[in-house]
Amino acid sequence: MHELSIACSIVELVAETAKGRKVHRVTIEIGSLSGVVPDSIAFWFPEAARGTEVAEASLEIREITALARCDACGAEFQTPSMLTVCPCGSFRFRWLKGEELNLKSIELEEVL
């Protein structure tokens, strides 16, 4: 359910930047451990955008695979799920990537 409110936040941020100009494309990035389902954002985005200047925009989602560094052995390893642990067996590690939930860029109609 929170994907709808996140889609609303995207539309709100884009509309603020666009200041009334037509929006062609919105690019966001979603980390695999952000807690947000990309397909669900894609589903809700047009609903959130309906009736706004963002309504005609296409949405590009860039997914980022999570990467962690182990506190115990120092190795970097991919963490496809929250339950992945370091190959050395340690549960103690820091995520380097994967928690992103960012608005990257917006393509706007040029005002001449």
CA-closest candidate to residue 51, choices 8, 103, 110, 111: 8
With respect to other proteins, which residue has the nearer C-beta, 69 or 108? Answer: 108
Taking the complex as a whole, how short is the minimal distance between the CB of residue 41 and other proteins, in angstroms?
9
Tokens for 41, please give them. 């954002």
Q: x/- binding map, residues 12-51, to other proteins, per CB under 8 A?
A: xx-xxxxxx-x-xx-xxx---x-xx-x---x--xxxxxxx
Q: Which residue has the tokens 């889609």?
A: 7
Interface with other proteins in residues 77-106 (CB under 8 A):
78, 81-83, 85, 91-92, 97, 101-106
Contact 99, 33 (CB under 8 A): yes
